[in-house]
Structure 1
């Protein structure tokens, strides 16, 4: 729905299903009821998640025509899409495979190009559209600095292929679409600083040459085109896990002319670890979040002010009595409307801070709530899924 600072929606990765019939069935079952609670008298946007299989099926004329008619009939529109998880996202072990295939592969390029073809067909006139994606690759798949550098080079080149297609579409139609790179813990790009350094030291130097040659423009115009079509997905959970200074990052991006394509409004888990005290209760509190589907990377703050990174929750639990560690933050995308989970809290205050920055001076017009772990709520706070999604979106509206 339209808010004072942009379009607000939720990501449909909460709904299970890995082919287009199951995706569409979930939308038809859930979206009208959510819209009725939030935007009964006006249009409402959808943050559409498509698996590779679903995107192939929706790319067919009959399916796309049927979906466009359904959107019109339900006063709905698509302005952002989630192109990060390529394969199954429910009822399977996802873990590091959420990055697969990564940006070093043609499969990732083909999938993303297809998603943009679909988005172009769905995007309302006069509106920009974005697709969020993996931060090149999972860094632990690359065992040496040389392998990491080569994966970064290939992945960047492949992203520039997508950017070139978006530039051609822009020149033909005037429609702006952008690839929103989403840093996350243990991605090749996992922090705001790493994203900015990559953008300035790898993407732009490579892109100025490639884009200038392809479109017969000078280096400055090539840079402007890259900045229009390759942007940042600011996932608040991911940045909060790394204890990142939101205002500083957002200001630095603005100063350098690097756009933020989308805010993914999401919350991590956190807890203070008492010094010289029994941590068994906190261990037990975190242990109940140790589920087998997704990676739950933990970033610990040490008493020295430095951070220690764990690739998943079990590795962190094994080290919980480390006396050098004073706080944990864990990647978990918990519901955002509450900040308390017993002995464990959420990083809800980071969302409040980011939305306050957005409210003071809008830095994007795409806002998407991305919660997909409703099962962690205590029974007293659980609602039917449609009511839960509406509660999240209403909480964001109140912040704005």
Structure 2
């Protein structure tokens, strides 16, 4: 195993703020990120977990807009080391549900968008610092018909690796793509990610594909694939899937799949006693069943069987349709604040997040950590009464206390 890094980078993802255009991104940086830096990292550089929609990425491809962004970062002692390249389109204010994965890795636009994000990140990265981009786990599960679609997605990812190799040659900056497993997606668990890498990305044929596109020798191309492709572990997603953190990290290590990024997020734990006693619990859960986001549910029954539901409303309807179920636990993909451990009748997966962070620090060389509670606008009102800057600062403080030794990394040299 690789020794853990001495100074991890910790930030929060700007996808928590509504904003699809470059002017809206600029406003969010000044209105929210700067005050968070002043509270959480006074007197030192603060890394930004940038989220750029397809529209914002296009706009920042223009030199004038990029110069404006670099000037803003420089003026406020900010730097960008990671981009959330998962949601391409509108992410707040209207239902997104399963459309959040589109365009996916079956669509040419996903490759073009991710290439564009890599170009922008390379232009923003401080010298000597690696960048990461988290992305959709291939596609929504229902979109993938079989091995032919899996191979098609792999070819697109390998084309992106070739782009990253050539980008590194031309700019000297290294960027890695991190696939983010999520419930009800093609890559749902760590085990599925390991299998996909082994069958489609870490093969001699994949190395030849990258070698032909870059001019590298096949052996060097194989190493480049492992350097430029990895996973983003979302703590909420893993908790919902009842994954054991140490076992998951050991499986990735054995397969040679790097953990490029960790999203520090918590979900909901719900204990259902069984039978008619479930009614009050289910009624209380109605407050979390919003119309905007997909809230996948994984139910673990007394015998260890896992039952999956695409969304919380479907899970509630199924549970209300029977009074024969015994005691069981639900884990719900609803990102809740890290600094709370209870939500009325329910618990957060806060303890799981702490366990995962400890395991990552012990078992990997991952240095990129990003808080991602994007649900502030849809949380029940009683859990979102404080202003967003205060809430995010509290989340970062909670995560920082579990990532010792903590630092913002070496003071980055301006790229402007």
TM-score (norm 2): 0.91
Equivalenced residue count is 394
Deviation (angstroms), 1:376: 2.3
Q: Equivalent of 1:88, from 87, 90, 94?
A: 90
Q: CA deviation at 1:277?
A: 4.9
Q: Map 1:126-275; keep pairs closer than 5 Å.
A: 126-142=128-144, 147-205=145-203, 206-275=205-274
Distance 1:192 1:272 in 2: 25
Contact 1:285 1:344 in 2 (8 A): no
Q: Following the alignment from structure 1 to structure 2, what is the Cα–Cα distance between the partners of residues 18 and 123?
A: 22
| Alpha-carbon distance in structure 2 between the residues aligned to 1:80 and 1:285 | 37
In the TM superposition, residue 92 of structure 1 has moved relative to its aligned partner by 1.4
Please state whether the residue corresponding to 1:389 is helix, strand or coil: helix
Query: Which residue is equivalent to 2:408?
Result: none
Distance 1:325 1:316, change over 3 A: farther
Q: Which moved more, 1:107-116 or 1:313-322?
A: 313-322
- TM-score, normalisation: structure 1: 0.94
Alignment match, 2:413:
none
CA distance in 2: counterparts of 1:218 and 1:126, whole angstroms: 25
**Aligned twin of 2:287:** 288
- Larger RCO of the pair (alpha carbons < 8 Å, separation 6+): 2
Equivalent position SS for 2:122: helix
Structure 2 SS opposite 1:376: coil
Q: What is the CA-CA distance between 1:155 and the residue it aligns to?
A: 1.1
Counterpart of 1:383 (choices 381, 386, 406) is: 386
Task: Tell me whether 1:51 sits opposite 2:53 in the alignment.
Answer: yes
Question: Higher mean Cα deviation, 19-28 or 352-361?
Answer: 352-361
Indicate if the aligned counterparts of 2:274 and 2:324 stay in contact, CA closer than 8 A. no
Give the conservation status (yes or no) of the 8 Å contact 1:5–1:359. Answer: no
Structure 2: stretches of 5+ with no match in the other structure: 404-416
Shift of 1:29: 1.0
Shift of 1:224: 1.2
Q: Quote the residue 1:397 is aligned against.
A: 400
Query: Which deviates further from its counterpart, 201-210 or 330-339?
Result: 201-210
Alpha-carbon contact 1:177-1:229 (below 8 Å) kept? yes
Match of 1:340 among 339, 342, 345: 342
Structure 2 Cα separation of the partners of residues 54 and 322 of structure 1: 50
Check whether the contact 1:382–1:388 (CA below 8 A) recurs between aligned residues: no
Alignment partners' CA distance in 1, 2:80 and 2:402:
23
